[in-house]
A and B are shown apart, each in its own frame.
Chain A
Amino acid sequence: MVDLSGLAQALTFGLIEASVIALGAVGLTLSYGVTRFINFAYGEFLAWGAFTVVFLVAIAPALPLPLAVAVAVVAVGFMGVAVSGAFFEPIADRGGLPLLITSIGVAFVLRYLLVAIASTDARSLPVPLQRPVEWMGVGLTPVQAVVIGVAALAMLAIHGVLQYTTLGTVMRATSGNRELATVAGIDTEAVVRRTWVISAGAAALAGVLYTVLYAPVRPTFGFGYLIIIFAATLLGGIGRPYGAMLGAVLIGVTISVGSAYLSPAYDQAYAFIVLVVVLLVRPEGIRRGTF
């Protein structure tokens, strides 16, 4: 017989991890929507976000952590624009494969630049360790609750931008057909730049939340976690932000439940089994629609 509180606990852990995955997946799928290539350098933005906060709290211990996180998100957002302008935009018309290969090279550049600055040492953020608060047999620490809340707020904000702002409208238009959007008078280059800010900023925030939950971390953690983010993105249908959110929840819960009831040694395998099965049945991903 299934222990319901154990199952609820596994689902809760799944939702906590899904919060991090979802932020990363939404950011990745947004940039894919307007650039149309799979960016292997994306995971490095997670690491840069986390280590920017580590750096800020080290040089300014009095700086409130939320302010340090906000600075890191903005800084990495603009770093995304710079990386795109330097490496991706100049070859944007060469097709997906050169961009993909370039992104792998950019990933190495960003990773080892961070290693050169921060060394390979594992670091943590000054977040208090807390005992769980139990409710109906399910334990959750206040920090874990804050992580879920921050991710939910960030996703609501992205939803607001997409649905209720001019930027969201032109982003959707550019994502649908960039050439047509250009003909229609939209400054698609500006749209791409702004999308990069949101995309890289979301990655930075995901990296910070990852570090809050799973510290200590090394500067190389982003690339490893990118595999999970890819799974959620593909599951949701790449280029579809709301699909990425759904995909993240499914991946997070699958990893957690599989680890709890089968074996924790194969956590990433569970995610990819689900991905393969879903894509065999629904190649377009779990969410219908174009965005």
Chain B
Amino acid sequence: MGLLAGCTGGDGGEGSADPLTVGVLVPFSGDYAWVGANVLPVVQMVAEEVNAAGGIGGRQLRVVQGDTEALPDASLSATQQLISVEEVAGIIGPTSLTYSAVADLFVENGVPTVTPTAGTTTLDTQGGEYVYRTVPSDSIGGRAIAAAAREERINGIGSFGSMALMVGQREVYQSFKEPIGSSFTEFGGTVVSELDFRTGKASYESEVQALTDAAPEITALVASIEDSVKIMEAAYQAGYEGSWFLTQDQTNVDFLSQSEAVVTDGALGIQEAPYEAAQADGRAAAFDEAIQAYAGWEETRLFATNAYDAANLLFLAMHKGQVDDGAVDRASTAANVRAVAAPDGTVVTDFDSGAAAISEGTAVDYRGLVGPIDFNEFGDIAAPFSIRRADGDSWVEAGRVRPADL
């Protein structure tokens, strides 16, 4: 169980009532500690803004950490601790790495959960009652990768006809495999090799040899940064001549800093694209400025915008419960997550404007930084993707894939 991260924003006035506790359930230690480091400051920043405005029904928000360590057993302990000991009103998290281990706990205890990080396809047919997400499913991400690989107008390099799939043997990676492969075939390409590999190995020479024997025009590599660096460098040293397509986990500066440009240059990657409406009205830039100042970041990090939307949705749902029922409870909050993003409501884009409208009895439609947040029946959203190309130590945008394109 992780450290407590108190975030009550003051010690008096309206904070005399018990605080409302919200759990952030992601890895804070281990190889995926970066996820916690990216998500927690955003949730804390939004919670402080809510507290500064008087909290929810006069109750201050208190943010606590649940460290999943990216391991199922640790995740189970952390989730039980949040639910039974901390008695959280809602949870932000978890990741795909541990979702399956704790999914039942959310439902059994009726805990409203909004995950900014779990793209796993397992959630494609679950959720929508207690579990929602502000990150698009890997099935959409995988389809976007396939579409971008086939279309030169999107990737800026060429129309790739043959693809190999190299996918780590963990749920978080395997989740991408079927969507990429089936979509690539559907779009007219040929999958020439499917290679599942054990993660965390010292070397991948045999796997890479099989890859070079298959001679694909492009390889979709779904793996951690560390394994990706090893595989791509081993492939370079084995004479691999094809291109690479990487997923969100690798499409960042950290990945490029761990390898050499001779290996990474020209590699394609995928990231969620900024929501055009949020860019147009300056909200995206304002968030970048705010979170970078708050967290001391040089750039806005992966999952930050997803976490912002997850926090706003959860806090607005709590506020709606407070206004409608005079109290915040898990059941009403879970139902209200969908209600505060109703497409026929008044458009709101942050907690302040949303809470004010809800207090006046107006139905609201929260539109976030990652997209319009229109949940389907399983609590999933659609969002645009940005296709990036590695160029030296940075990524440049090659094109975009919109939900309508898929």
Contact = CB atoms under 8 A, between A and B. Distances in A.
A216 B237 contact: no
Contacts of B202: 210, 214, 221, 224-225
Contacts of B210: 264
B226 interface: yes
Interface stretch (A123-131, A150-158, A233-241): A123-131
B222 to A, nearest CB: 16
Contact of B226 (A6, A213, A216, A256): A216
Interface string A83-116: 0000000000000000000000000000000000
Contact of B239 (A124, A139, A218, A221): A139
- Chain A interface SS verdict (over half): helix
B106 interface: no
Contacts of B169: 265
A132 B230 contact: no
A214 B230 contact: yes
Nearest to B258: A216
B198 A122 contact: no
Given A13-B205, A17-B203, A260-B209, A131 B239 contact: yes
B365 interface: no
A130 B263 CA distance: 10
B226 A131 contact: no
Interface string A251-267: 00000100110001101
Interface string A114-152: 000000101010000111101000010100100000000
B203 A124 contact: no
A264 B239 contact: no
Contacts of A221: 202
Interface in B155-213: 169, 196-198, 201-207, 209-210, 213
A259 B236 CA distance: 19
A208 interface: no
B230 A264 contact: no
A141 B226 contact: no
A126 to B, nearest CB: 10
A216 B260 contact: no
Interface residues of B, number: 27
B236 A265 contact: no
A267 B201 contact: yes
Given A131-B239, A225-B202, A264 B197 contact: yes
Contact of A13 (B201, B206, B236, B263): B206
Contact of B206 (A130, A216, A256): A256
B169 to A, nearest CB: 7
A122 B239 contact: no
Q: Which of A10, A129, A130, A225 has the most CB of B within 10 A?
A: A129
A9 interface: yes
Interface in A197-218: 210, 213-216, 218
A131 B236 contact: yes
Contacts of B230: 214-216
Contacts of B47: none
Contacts of B237: 129-132, 141, 144
Interface in B228-284: 229-230, 233, 236-239, 258, 260, 262-263
Nearest to B200: A224
B236 A213 contact: no
A265 B201 CA distance: 9
A27 to B, nearest CB: 18
A226 to B, nearest CB: 12
Contact of A122 (B209, B258, B262): B258
11 contacts: A10-B206, A130-B237, A139-B239, A141-B237, A214-B230, A260-B209, A264-B206, A264-B210, A265-B197, A267-B201, A267-B206
Interface of B: 31, 169, 196-198, 201-207, 209-210, 213, 226, 229-230, 233, 236-239, 258, 260, 262-263
Q: Kindly list the 10 A-B residue pairs having the minimum CB-CB distance in the complex, ordered from nearest.
A: A259-B206, A264-B206, A214-B202, A265-B198, A13-B205, A214-B203, A260-B206, A264-B207, A122-B226, A141-B237
